């Protein structure tokens, strides 16, 4: 594979994060011992994936799990609300229980999945599942959260269980963040970051990139500000116009500038991990969904190619993760060449949703 290799970069980035965590927890022998064990577990997971690869089954290193349809914010342009996977109201009884999620985590560890991204809705509203994840010390859980639910109890939990890695959503400065997420959210995020940094808890930031905030969020000033607050990873995610506002999606010129800037930032800030979706996918051989690099499990247990492509022919309540990766939908997507197709927006499967749906018939 030519060009930037996302999996290799992520592996190196995680290794660097582990070193930082070891330094942060050096005063606590128990935490240092835990991180050394996790590094050993990561190596074992890689060997498990290699074993399955030799048997003809590609096991991705990542899994994305949306724990709930509930969220306490109503962010402008939210893809999850636009496609109705996130909505108000009482918790859906069809959502997976904490024990069912724990079963998914156990299976993932058994087959060599090292990193499980927890999303939502707002994942921190599923306290039962977060506590279940904390017990899986052989898996790193980046938790993509709006940050507003991080109170002292969660700060304590993140401090004690370093396999939980909060990633907080921010859209730029106060005006841009509050404009999308609600008044007071920016100041709240700053307080949460300060509290985590004071405790030596590592965290990341997630940025939805639009044509409106691109210049700000890729600027040295923005990155330096996050760096000073203790941020160790920045995830740039292109806005996907699920709500129909295509004018906000980065155009070709903006995407070219994003590719240039991500390279510059990686060279200038070696102590921070920078991930760009789908930019890194394009330069590393195409979309990583449908089991190539990851797949998505929704709050009801349905296995989907990715969070932006809500089509499923399998459920974790009926199939194992290995069986899901060989499902008709995932196999068809990987073999069709669709994942390598050019596209204009932030997600090839979102653009080709009619074609993906047709694969279910």
CATH number of the domain at 251, please.
Answer: 3.20.20.70
pLDDT for the residue numbered 222: 97
Report whether pLDDT(316) > 90. Answer: yes
Contacts of 167 (CB under 8 A, 6+ apart): 142, 143, 144, 145, 203, 204, 205, 206, 233, 235
Q: What span, in angstroms and rounded, lies between the C-alpha atoms of 7 and 92? A: 35
Q: Is position 1 within any domain?
A: no
Q: What is the pLDDT of residues 61-86, one digit of tens each?
A: 889 999 999 998 888 877 778 777 77
Weakest mean pLDDT among 125-134, 166-175, 193-202, 213-222: 193-202
Structural domains counted in the chain: 1
Query: Does position 206 have pLDDT exceeding 90, yes or no?
Result: yes
Nearest 10 degrees: CA dihedral of 30, 206, 72, 94? -80
* Contacts for 177 with CB less than 8 Å, ≥ 6 apart: 170, 171, 185, 186, 189
Residue 72 lies in a domain: yes
Top pLDDT among 302 and 276 is at 302
Q: Which residue has the higher pLDDT, 175 or 18?
A: 175
Containing domain of residue 25, as a range? 6-358
pLDDT band, very low/low/confident/very high, at 8 (cuts 50, 70, 90): low
Could you tell me the CA-to-CA distances from 274 to 87, 218, 232, 271 in Å, in that order? Answer: 30, 11, 9, 10
Would 338 be classed as within a structural domain? Answer: yes
330 in helix, strand or coil? Answer: helix
pLDDT tens digit string along 106-136? 999 999 998 999 998 999 999 999 999 999 9
Residue 16 covered by a domain: yes
In a domain, 79, yes or no: yes
The answer to the question of residue 337 being in a domain is: yes
Establish if 100 belongs to a structural domain: yes
pTM (two decimals): 0.89
66, part of any domain: yes
């Amino acid at each position: 594979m030519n060009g930037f290799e996302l999996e290799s970069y992520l592996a190196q980035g995680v290794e660097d994060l582990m070193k930082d965590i070891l330094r942060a927890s050096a005063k606590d022998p128990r935490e240092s011992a835990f991180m050394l064990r996790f590094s050993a577990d990561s190596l074992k997971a890689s060997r498990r994936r290699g074993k399955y690869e030799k048997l003809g089954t590609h096991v991705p290193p990542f899994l994305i799990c949306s724990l709930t349809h509930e969220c306490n914010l109503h962010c402008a342009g939210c893809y999850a609300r636009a496609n109705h996977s996130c909505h108000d109201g009482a918790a859906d009884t069809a959502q997976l229980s904490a024990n069912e999620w724990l079963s998914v985590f156990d299976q993932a560890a058994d087959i060599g999945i090292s990193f499980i991204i927890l999303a939502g809705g707002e994942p921190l509203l599923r306290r039962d599942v977060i506590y279940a994840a904390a017990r899986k010390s052989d898996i790193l859980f980046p938790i993509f959260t709006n940050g507003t639910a991080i109170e002292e109890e969660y700060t304590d939990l993140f401090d004690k269980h370093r396999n939980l890695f909060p990633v907080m959503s921010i859209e730029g400065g106060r005006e841009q963040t509050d404009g999308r997420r609600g008044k007071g959210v920016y100041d709240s995020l700053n307080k949460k970051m300060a509290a985590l940094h004071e405790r030596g808890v590592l965290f990341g930031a997630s940025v939805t990139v639009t044509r409106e905030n691109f210049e700000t969020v890729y600027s040295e000033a923005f990155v330096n500000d996050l760096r000073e607050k203790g941020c160790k990873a920045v995830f740039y995610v292109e806005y996907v116009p699920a709500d129909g506002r295509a004018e906000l999606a980065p155009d070709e010129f903006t995407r070219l500038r994003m590719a240039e800037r991500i390279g510059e930032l990686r060279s200038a800030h070696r102590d921070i991990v920078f991930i760009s979706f789908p930019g890194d996918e394009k330069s590393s051989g195409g979309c990583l969904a449908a089991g190539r690099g990851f797949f998505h499990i929704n709050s009801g247990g349905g296995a989907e190619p990715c969070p932006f492509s809500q089509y499923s022919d399998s459920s974790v309540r009926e199939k194992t993760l290995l069986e899901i990766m060989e499902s008709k939908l995932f196999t068809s997507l990987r073999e069709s060449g669709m994942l390598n197709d050019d596209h204009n927006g932030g997600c090839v499967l979102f653009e080709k949703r009619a074609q993906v749906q047709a694969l279910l018939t």
